[in-house]
Amino acid sequence: MENKRKSCCMSFELHDCYAEDTKVTMTAYENMDIRDVRVGDRIRGMHDKCLVVEDVIVGYEAEICHIVAENGCEIRVTKEHILKIITNEFPEGKDVCAKEVQAGDVILSCDGAVRITSAQIEAYGNRVYNFIFQDERMPNFISANGFWAGDFYAQQINRKQPDKESIEKQAGGILEELEKFRSGW
């Protein structure tokens, strides 16, 4: 099988991705830079599920959420990216957008629950990545920088249908982003 990357320019539907310095855990438990993952690679999912990459989604984001845990793990994801918050009501984790995470929250990490010490939105201006997996058309969570974080389908679950004004505003930037994509950033 040819080991290549499919990619697409970000549109208003693809804002929920990982920063390019994210490390994902492969099924053999080695870490790989997300930007090096290719179609056919196998990534570790929750409950040791083997997820085979069908498509690598590449986009661009101007801002990113930087989340730091008390154990030193940190992750940078887009604002709408889904993570799992642990509460008394949701001990297995409740799906929340990264922009809603606050210091003091408890997030589901690959080693269990971990308290967040810092969560902020930062300027980014770089590539972001996410995945679609073979034979998977439902949400999956992958091991990314020590946290369980959602794949492309996990991001679609809580997505509201955008209104016409929102679509027009976001679509207005697509040509700019396409030009950036073509020029290689």
pLDDT computed for residue 159 by the predictor? 55
Residue 174 pLDDT > 80:
no
Residue 2 pLDDT > 90:
no
Give the number of residues written for the chain. Answer: 185
Query: 50-59 pLDDT, tens per residue?
Result: 999 999 999 9
Could you give all domains of the chain from N- to C-terminal order, each with its CATH number?
18-174 (2.170.16.10)
pLDDT computed for residue 8 by the predictor? 43
Model confidence at 146, in pLDDT bands (50, 70, 90)? very high
pLDDT computed for residue 167 by the predictor? 61
Distance of CA 72 to the CA centre of its chain: 19
Question: What DSSP string describes 9-75?
Answer: ---TT----EETT-EEEBTTS-EEEGGG--TT-EEEEGGGEEEEEEEEEEEEEEEEEEEEETTS-EE
φ, ψ of residue 121 to 5 degrees: the values are -95, 130
- Residues of the chain with pLDDT > 70, as a percent, come to 81
In this structure, what token pair is assigned to residue 80? 């709408």
pLDDT computed for residue 104 by the predictor? 97
Question: Under a CB-based contact definition with an 8 Å cutoff, are residues 26 and 43 in contact?
Answer: yes
Model confidence at 178, in pLDDT bands (50, 70, 90)? confident
Alpha-carbon span 78 to 143, nearest angstrom: 16
Residue 45 pLDDT > 60:
yes
pTM for the full model?
0.77
Model confidence at 107, in pLDDT bands (50, 70, 90)? very high
